[in-house]
Amino acid sequence: MTTTALVHVVVSGLATGSIYALMAISLVIIYNATRTLNFAQGEMLMISTFVGWSAHEALRLPLPLVLLIAVAAAAALGWLVERLVIRHAIAATHLDVLIITLGLSLVLRAAAGLVWTHDEFPFPSFFRERPIGLGPLRVAPVSLGIIGGSLALMLALAALFRWTRLGRAMRAVAQNQRAARLMGISVERVYSASWVLAAVVGAIAGVLIAPVIFLSSKMGLVAINGFTAAVLGGFGSMPGAVVGGMLLGVLENLAPLWLPAGIKHSVPFLLMIAILVIRPSGVLGRVRQRKV
Amino acid sequence: MRWAAAGAGGVVLLCWPLLVPPYFVFLTSLIVVNAIVAIGLNLLSGYTNQLSFGHAGFFAVGAYVAAVLTLRAPALPVVATLALAGLATALVGLALGIPCLRLEGLYLAMATLAFGFVVVEAILNLDWLTRGNDGLAVPAARLGPLALGSDAAKYYLVLGVGALMVAAAVNIARTRTGRALLAIRESEIAAQASGVHLAAYKTLAFAVSAFYTGVAGGLFAFVVGFISPDAFDVFLSVDFVAMIIVGGLGSIPGSIVGAAVITLLYDWLAAFQNYRPLLFGLILIGCMLFMPGGIASRMAKWTHQAQ
């Protein structure tokens, strides 16, 4: 295999990997606040992307506005879900909340099917498909655009967590809820903010990936790879989510070169089982000691 | 009084194929098949608090083992086929359960979810054995010279096996093993401190749960007569979870009621395919928010109030 072809595979792997990383980040944001996994994350991504697409179809809006509408829809959806459903189960065990989000994912997917049917739709892209030459290498602008957009978003998130009041509050709640509450942080507000933020990250990921994988009620399944990415990097860690996402994207694209073709779709799942069994704390995670 | 009611119920179940049209007999068979899965899943999730989203995978293994055995070794009596399907699935359960001992909560849920996807991919890739997407037509089960081809014959097969499985589960729940499993659910640390060997019992729960699901998968293959990979997708796993959530975690009667409710809903909503997940999702959310113990705990409360 030539180097140029290898670069092409790796770059497109990094592009899907960035999306996995964004999904992983949004799962981790919610996990750090409410200690639960949001099974409906992918469906929330799908709904907000569909809302943006509807605005595009109805009003012929330019893409940046479409992105804004998708983000606004996601923020509203995230806030509503947390406020109307999750908040009421705050006393329940994590598994109960897990099952609630599972039910939510069924409801959202079915609702999307009723509104927009279960067909696939093409989604307009910021970037062109035709490869451009960089010296001897050829890469698709859409891949570079996805990587660039995701990296920009990740930097913005890092800045948010590091330098804003909300970011500090979210980190404090992730570390120790009771201590955070005693320091005067409104934990409930952090819950809300986490769900909104996670939904917004998902919406941006959705608008970036929809031109590549098409818009459909099934596109929420990408969240499962996001979970694998988060586990790969160490669940709960933001840098881990980024590294895990990129790693998963590249591995998934490289694996078919050496393994039988039929196995490609199983790669993320086999990888997830393997990493959970061999090193549950992930590549960058620390082992969490349990107190009695 | 209780024995009389049970006896009357038994007589009705035995005469069922004479009383109702064949389609309802078929539907009842499906309910019993799903009830066996729900009991198996409940032994794992309800009793030891290990949530599994991969039971469609075990179900598929059982169904395919039974189907392939019936096609390749037609002389084998159905009881042996089902036992082998259950044992093969239990082995798969052990293979998954031992590494999963290190996992809990979310991680276990995701690992089992991934297992379900891998099983479907494996069935697609082993097409020399499973014929991939084309699926397998399953010939009628044979019991000696008898071919169990009619809906009524299949029903009696399912009912007989189901009764055995229910009796076994009730007895497991009442023994030392059952109490150990319940102790693990309440608190792993406390159970361990009281001398419950955590790893052994959790692995046992995985294997027994897989055995139940595998046997049910084999029965499913015979009842439906045709299996293909798309019947065993992740949504089937979700349906199984819905059964024990609706029926009641950690309750064997609850498992049966939950299986009946979900199977009947599934059938009634067949014409409204698009609304089905909507309703199932709302049921899951509603149960978790307003009826965490499922129908079983609600019924227990009513009978308690009536006394």
A39 within 8 A of A99, measured Cβ to Cβ: no
* Token reading at A44: 């929330």
pLDDT value at residue A71: 94
Residue B195 within a domain: yes
A10 within 8 A of A257, measured Cβ to Cβ: no
Q: How many structural domains are present in chain A?
A: 1
Helices (H), chain A: 3-34, 41-59, 63-84, 94-116, 141-163, 165-175, 177-182, 187-213, 222-233, 238-258, 267-278
With an 8 Å Cβ cutoff, are A104 and B285 in contact? yes
pLDDT value at residue A1: 62
Through-space distance between the first and last CA atoms of chain B, rounded to whole angstroms: 15
pLDDT value at residue B306: 65
Residue A123 within a domain: yes
- Predicted TM-score (pTM) of the model is 0.86
Q: How many structural domains are present in chain B?
A: 1
| Residues in A touching B117 (Cβ below 8 Å) | 265-266, 269
Q: How confident is the model at residue A48 (pLDDT cuts 50, 70, 90)?
A: very high
pLDDT value at residue B4: 81
Interface of B with A in 68-127 (CB under 8 A): 99-100, 102-103, 105-107, 109-111, 113-115, 117-118, 121-122, 124-125
Q: Is the pLDDT of residue A287 over 70?
A: no
With an 8 Å Cβ cutoff, are A269 and B114 in contact? yes
B100 within 8 A of B51, measured Cβ to Cβ: no
- Per the structure, the complete domain to which residue A175 belongs is given by 3-219+246-263
> For residues B9 and B14, what is the distance between their CA atoms, to the nearest angstrom?
9
Q: How far is CA A270 from CA A46, A235, B254, in A?
A: 25, 17, 34
- CA-nearest residue of chain B to A108? B278
Q: Is the pLDDT of residue A292 over 60?
A: no
DSSP 8-state code for residue B134: G
With an 8 Å Cβ cutoff, are B278 and A36 in contact? no
DSSP string spanning A66-118?
A: HHHHHHHHHHHHHHHHHHHTGGGGTTS-HHHHHHHHHHHHHHHHHHHHHHH-S
| Residues in A touching B104 (Cβ below 8 Å) | none
> For residues B169 and B256, what is the distance between their CA atoms, to the nearest angstrom?
12
With an 8 Å Cβ cutoff, are A110 and B276 in contact? yes
> For residues B17 and A115, what is the distance between their CA atoms, to the nearest angstrom?
42
Interface of A with B in 273-292 (CB under 8 A): 273, 276-277, 280, 292
Query: pLDDT, tens digit, for every residue of A202-246?
Result: 999 999 888 888 888 888 888 888 888 888 888 888 888 899 999
Tell me how many degrees the CA angle B21-B25-B29 measures, rounded to the nearest 5: 170
Residue A150 within a domain: yes
Q: Which of A97, A100, A111 sits opposite B278 (nearest CB)?
A: A111
- CA-nearest residue of chain B to A117? B274
- CA-nearest residue of chain A to B114? A269
Closest CA to A252 of A272, A279, A238, A281: A272
Q: Is the pLDDT of residue A26 over 90?
A: yes
Nearest-Cα distance to chain B for A32, in Å, is 13
With an 8 Å Cβ cutoff, are B281 and A280 in contact? no
With an 8 Å Cβ cutoff, are B103 and A276 in contact? yes
- CA-nearest residue of chain A to B118? A266
pLDDT value at residue A289: 53
pLDDT value at residue A198: 93
Q: Answer with the residue of higher pLDDT: A243 or B273.
A: A243
- Per the structure, the complete domain to which residue B207 belongs is given by 16-306
> For residues B187 and B169, what is the distance between their CA atoms, to the nearest angstrom?
22
Residue A8 within a domain: yes
pLDDT value at residue B303: 73
A114: left (phi over 0), alpha (psi -120 to 50) or beta: alpha
- CA-nearest residue of chain A to B105? A95
β-pairing, B141-143 vs B136-137, is unpaired
Query: pLDDT, tens digit, for every residue of B136-191?
Result: 888 887 777 777 777 888 888 889 899 999 999 888 888 888 888 888 888 888 88
Q: Which of B103, B276, B288 sits opposite A92 (nearest CB)?
A: B288
Closest CA to B294 of B9, B42, B27, B6: B42
Nearest-Cα distance to chain B for A227, in Å, is 8
pLDDT value at residue A286: 58
Q: Answer with the residue of higher pLDDT: A34 or B307.
A: A34
> For residues A154 and A145, what is the distance between their CA atoms, to the nearest angstrom?
14
Q: Which of A102, A119, A281 to mutate to test the interface with B (most CBs of B within 10 A)?
A: A102
Q: Which of A103, A109, A273 sits opposite B114 (nearest CB)?
A: A273
Q: Answer with the residue of higher pLDDT: A112 or B104.
A: A112
A61 touches chain B (CB under 8 A): no
> For residues A274 and B93, what is the distance between their CA atoms, to the nearest angstrom?
16
> For residues A20 and A200, what is the distance between their CA atoms, to the nearest angstrom?
15
Averaged over B231-250, what is the pLDDT?
A: 88
> For residues B27 and A184, what is the distance between their CA atoms, to the nearest angstrom?
58
B1 touches chain A (CB under 8 A): no
With an 8 Å Cβ cutoff, are B281 and A107 in contact? yes
DSSP 8-state code for residue B126: -
pLDDT value at residue A123: 83
- CA-nearest residue of chain A to B238? A102
> For residues A250 and A9, what is the distance between their CA atoms, to the nearest angstrom?
8
State the maximum Cα–Cα separation within chain A, in Å, rounded to a whole number.
60
> For residues A106 and A277, what is the distance between their CA atoms, to the nearest angstrom?
29
Residue A20 within a domain: yes
HSE, side-chain direction, 13 A CA sphere, residue B23: 3
DSSP string spanning B234-296?
A: HHHHHHHHHHHHHH-TT-HHHHHHHHHHHHHHHHHGGGGGGGHHHHHHHHHHHHHHH-TTHHH
Query: pLDDT, tens digit, for every residue of A126-142?
Result: 777 677 776 677 777 88
Through-space distance between the first and last CA atoms of chain A, rounded to whole angstroms: 54
Residue A279 within a domain: no
- State what percent of residues in chain A have pLDDT above 90: 24
Q: Is the pLDDT of residue A182 over 60?
A: yes
| Residues in A touching B241 (Cβ below 8 Å) | 99, 102
Residue B10 within a domain: no
Residue B29 within a domain: yes
Domain CATH code at residue B148: 1.10.3470
Q: Which burial class, exposed, middle or buried, applies to A210 when counting CB atoms under 10 A from its CB (0-12, 13-18, 19+)? A: buried
Residue B127 within a domain: yes
HSE, side-chain direction, 13 A CA sphere, residue A41: 31
Q: Which of A227, A263, A269 sits opposite B117 (nearest CB)?
A: A269
Interface of A with B in 37-56 (CB under 8 A): 37
A137 Cβ contact partners less than 8 Å away, ≥ 6 residues apart: A4, A7, A8
Query: pLDDT, tens digit, for every residue of B24-83?
Result: 888 899 999 999 999 999 988 888 888 888 899 999 999 999 999 988 888 788 888 999
> For residues A10 and A29, what is the distance between their CA atoms, to the nearest angstrom?
27
pLDDT value at residue A9: 83
